[in-house]
Structure 1
Amino acid sequence: MRAWMTAVALVMALPVAGCGGESDSVQAGSIPLTIKAPDKTHVFTVEVARTPEEQAKGLMFRTSLPENGGMLFPFEKPRFASFWMKNTLIPLDMVFIRADGSIDRIAENTIPENLEPVVSGGEVSAVLELAGGTAAKLGIDESAVVTWNDK
């Protein structure tokens, strides 16, 4: 019974990774997001998936992301996060962000269209999706801090 309840909770908390839409360009209403690594600061322009519907759609069906683009999935309160790659056609780096901006975990180069859940290591307040390989290319790791202003 407990395993069943855990499975149901996981599925209900599963904002599907990926971003919908046919366009490969960053959408209107995007915000700046900064990742400060020990050696360098990187600035991205990211779309924000605010509603459950936007979070469920995510980056689905996209064939590319701009070099400094991505999508941010903020949560009302910190929680364990689980994403999958259903209908996501490009590999992504998923950056799981704690409430203080520190990085909980980075899942690099997630496999397109894979149904295996990609989960955070602990409770997070947001997840950032970047083009696969971005974290390694820019030297972003768990020592970095992520900030944005979505007000």
Structure 2
Amino acid sequence: MRIKDMTRIALALACCVLAPLSSAPAWAQDQAQHLPTTTLGAGMYNIKAEVARSEQEHEIGLMFRTSMGNNEGMIFIFERAGQQCFWMKNTLIPLAVAFIADDGTVVNVDEMKAQTLDPHCSTKPVRFVLEMNTGWFTKHGVKAGSKLSGEPFGTPR
């Protein structure tokens, strides 16, 4: 084989190896995402919640955040109700999580430690999951049976 042919083969092989890397999924990142927000209500408290709708947005969630405002969080919206389970991989701040039924009723609440792989799951099938700063739900009296309001639940805020 001539040098010219070997060079072409080497370039073709390099393209085959490197091409998949250039199209790595958006969720294969190491920085926080910032999504559009909606206002939710928990009694007299307003929550500014970023809205995660897509699978990629769900996978990144609140990863790589170093802080979050007092009444800020992220609501995860799923197409169908199911048992939703969350973990804290690459999540730098501890969070509280509420699993929420279609009508805005809280099914169950849990606390999650930063950077752990422990599963935190809904006790019933749900379409909505709300993550807030650790202790937020307890501090504001939100527990199983509490009702949240806002656009995702079809109720005005």
Structure 1 length as normaliser, TM-score? 0.76
Q: Which of the two has higher C-alpha Rg?
A: 2
Amino acid at match of 1:33: L
Report matched runs for 1:1-151 at 5 Å.
21=32, 27=34, 29-36=36-43, 41-108=44-111, 110-150=112-152
Structure 1 distance, partners of 2:86, 2:95, is 11
What is the aligned-residue RMSD (CA, Å)? 1.7
Higher strand fraction: Structure 1 or Structure 2? 1
What secondary structure is seen at the aligned counterpart in 2 of 1:77? strand
- 2:35/2:52 contact within 8 Å kept: no
% same residue: 36
Q: Structure 2: state its 5+ residue gaps.
A: 1-30
Q: Structure 1: state its 5+ residue gaps.
A: 1-19
Higher helix fraction: Structure 1 or Structure 2? 2
TM-superposed CA distance for 1:147, in Å, is 2.0
Q: Residue deviations 1:61-108, cap 9 Å, x none?
A: 111111110000011121110110000011111000011211110002
Structure 2 distance, partners of 1:139, 1:126, is 19
Larger relative contact order (CA 8 Å, sep ≥ 6): 1
TM-superposed CA distance for 1:143, in Å, is 2.9
What secondary structure is seen at the aligned counterpart in 2 of 1:54? helix
Quote the residue 2:26 is aligned against. Answer: none
Structure 2 distance, partners of 1:99, 1:133, is 23
Structure 1 distance, partners of 2:36, 2:88, is 24
Amino acid at match of 2:137: A
Q: How many residues align?
A: 123
